[in-house]
Amino acid sequence: MKQNELGTSGIFISELTLGCMSLGTDLDKARRIIDAALDSGINHLDTADLYDFGKNEELVGQAIRHKRQQLILTSKVGNHFDPKTGTSFWDPSREHILNGAKESLRRLGTDYLDFYMLHGGTADDPIEESIDAFETLKKEGLIRAYGISSIRPNVIREYVKRSAIDGVMMQYSLLDRRPEEEILGLLGENRISVLARGPLAKGMLSTAALQQLEKKGDSGYLDYSAKQLKETIHKLQSFAGGRPLNELAFGYVLRHPGIATAVFGASSAAQLEENLAAGQSALSDHDYDQLQQLTKQNLYTAHR
């Protein structure tokens, strides 16, 4: 599988990333999915301390035991949570980031993270303090590189100006093309990679598109009304001409040169295999142009 450099970090990640949030709680099942992903050429796993209030990191840590050197491991921090009460609050302070990293390392059973991200962010955050924490972790060798997971253009711009981030994780798909207008060019100019999450738009661009549309599309999606969303999905399926819709979805996202990887989840080995097959099909220039005509150029509005 093709690998792309994460910013200028010297870290190379596969163009498909296994997002671990959907692995569940069964260790044997999680291990089978992760092993199959690694065998397929995926080398990048993404988790976060908030997923199942730390339990997802523990699960991943157990599943990759004895395989740590074979993969690139990413986690996230910024949500101060209490697993006993199931509550959390936003905390981008230096103290929380430093403590959060050590707790994540403990749960994952490793002494370093390849990539560590702030799991959100607002314009009111103590950004310099947060950056200082990540730089400290880097100097101490606890992380190799850092970035943010955010869809807020104003926050992303501040980190581009003030920090040495190597990557930004953001929502990006055929149904959410917001990054194209404001962010992808900026990040590309600064050699900052994009990790695209949600390439299948909550499953509405998957092989089960119509079923997921019925479950999740009643109120529309972003600036698509429910009617527009349904019409667009039908147009995309017609254009696919028998090809799996997720093949077009992955192909579209990965076609942009600023995208280092597309992050997808899998709750079963079958789902993993289905997305692996779709995620490694190249998209022609003609198909790319047509898909842009069939979907909207959305814009960021509330996320400021």
Q: Domains in the chain and their CATH numbers?
A: 3-203+254-283 (3.20.20.100)
Query: What average pLDDT does the structure give for the chain?
Result: 95
Provide the pLDDT for residue 304: 63
For 256, the 3-state DSSP assignment is coil
Q: Which residue has the tokens 């796993």?
A: 45
51 is catalytic: yes
For 6, the 3-state DSSP assignment is coil
The DSSP element (H or E) to which 178 belongs, if any, is helix 178-182
Q: Among residues 115, 64, 112, 56, which one has the least CA distance to residue 81?
A: 56
For 206-239, the pLDDT digits (tens) are 988 889 988 888 899 999 999 999 999 999 999 9
Provide the pLDDT for residue 217: 85
CA 178, CA 291: separation in Å to the nearest integer? Answer: 15
The DSSP element (H or E) to which 132 belongs, if any, is helix 127-139
Structure tokens at 28: 């044997």
For 118-159, the pLDDT digits (tens) are 999 999 999 999 999 999 999 999 999 999 999 999 999 999
Task: Give the count of alpha carbons within 13 A of 152, CB side only.
Answer: 18
Task: Give the count of alpha carbons within 13 A of 40, CB side only.
Answer: 23
In which band, very low, low, confident or very high, does the pLDDT at 301 lie, cut at 50, 70 and 90?
confident
What's the one-letter identity of residue 223? D
For 79-94, the pLDDT digits (tens) are 998 888 889 999 999 9
Neighbours of 220 (CB within 10 A): 14
Q: Among residues 60, 59, 52, 6, which one has the least CA distance to residue 259?
A: 6
CB of 4 within 8 A of CB of 12?
yes
What does R_g of the chain's alpha carbons equal in angstroms?
19
Length of the chain: 304
- Region 53-74 average pLDDT: 96
Q: Which of 51, 116, 172, 224 is catalytic?
A: 51
Q: Which residue has the tokens 């929380």?
A: 96
Provide the pLDDT for residue 298: 94
- Region 290-302 average pLDDT: 94
In which band, very low, low, confident or very high, does the pLDDT at 186 lie, cut at 50, 70 and 90?
very high
CA 212, CA 208: separation in Å to the nearest integer? Answer: 6
Is 90 exceeded by the pLDDT of residue 303? no
Structure tokens at 299: 């814009």
For 239, the 3-state DSSP assignment is helix
Spatial neighbors of 141 by CB under 8 A, at least 6 apart, are: 112
CB contact burial 134-145 (16+ within 10 A = b; e otherwise)? beebbeeebbbb
Q: Among residues 277, 279, 248, which one has the least CA distance to residue 263?
A: 279
For 232-287, the pLDDT digits (tens) are 999 999 999 989 999 999 999 999 999 999 999 999 999 999 999 999 888 999 99
CA 147, CA 138: separation in Å to the nearest integer? Answer: 12
CA 219, CA 226: separation in Å to the nearest integer? Answer: 5
